[in-house]
Amino acid sequence: MARNGGRDGYRAVAAERRAGEKLARPKPRKLESAGRLRDYVMAGLELLWSPQQIARKIRAEFPMDEDMRVSHETIYQTLFVQGKGELRRLLYKALRSGRARRVSPSRRPARHDTIVGMVTISERPKEAEDRAVPGFWEGDLILGSACKSQILTLVERQTRFVMLQRVPYDRAADRVAALLTHRMSHLPGFLKNSITWDQGSEMADHAKFTIATGMPVYFCDPHSPWQRGTNENTNGLLRTLGWASPTEKMNELLINHGGAPIT
């Protein structure tokens, strides 16, 4: 009322008209217009970087340039809502799931298989959570086109170092246990604390793996991929730590413990 004549001079019609005139004009969104920022974001998406990685990397490369700033939320908003043409096409590359929509957990098919002797993630040592201690791994099985091929992914939580293992023929539990045992047998003891996995039937022989390697396996709760967040983020995109590669971080650990670096 004070801005429109006060108690004595206020007129509703005039105040409404004035408010309409003062409405902010729609501003073009950051990534809708051509420019360096848009070019950088699109180049990052072409390289299969996530929006979060693009937002962090652009700040690191242009620390003094306020025009080269964008949040990962803005990138996602542009892709999902405003994206058109080339930018919209890159949506499928920007999402690690390869889907344009997220699938609600309530719509996923229920699992009826049970793994004998499962130990849940709630029993995992607390030191695994803050990444202060190396040797805690997260694993998953990725299926290829039409489920005709599969590969095991293993990510060390502290360094984000990745190991991949092709699984020939099928994903039978005994074969997976043997392949994981072979892969982990090359590691020094301080890097063999545990593995966290989802409740996939390929890990039904987890006890054999634990006996052979001394590494316990902890299982996530159903439909809880965030409990293996490091592995989920790595399956489609290899992140970095302070823009040093995971291999460099792993080599730091190995050299500090008197081991040979990975080449």
Structural domains of the chain, ranges and CATH numbers in brackets: 36-93 (no CATH), 121-256 (3.30.420.10)
In terms of C-beta distances under 8 Å and separation of at least 24 residues, what long-range contacts does 111-114 make, across chains too?
A: 111/199, 111/222, 113/199, 113/201
At residue 243, the pLDDT reads: 46
At residue 238, the pLDDT reads: 42
At residue 137, the pLDDT reads: 95
Q: How many other C-beta atoms can be found within 10 angstroms of the C-beta atom of residue 259?
A: 15
Per-residue tens of pLDDT for the chain, all 263 residues: 787 788 888 888 888 888 877 765 555 667 777 789 988 988 888 777 778 888 888 988 898 998 899 888 888 777 665 555 555 555 555 554 455 444 444 454 544 457 889 999 989 988 888 888 999 999 988 887 777 788 898 999 998 888 989 898 888 999 999 999 999 998 999 999 999 999 889 999 999 999 999 999 999 888 776 677 666 565 444 445 554 566 777 888 888 888 887 76
Task: Output the pTM of the full model.
Answer: 0.52
For every residue of 36-52, DSSP letters joined together read HHHHHHHHHHHTT--HH
Three-state DSSP state, 133: coil
Q: How far apart are CA 238 and CA 200, in angstroms?
A: 23
For residue 185, the surrounding DSSP H or E stretch is none
At residue 91, the pLDDT reads: 54
Q: Strand pairing of 217-219 and 150-156?
A: unpaired
Q: Strand order in 150-156's β-sheet?
A: 162-167, 150-156, 136-143, 194-197, 217-219
Per the CB < 8 A criterion, the answer to whether 79 and 90 are in contact is yes
At residue 30, the pLDDT reads: 74
Q: How far apart are CA 162 and CA 94, in angstroms?
A: 21
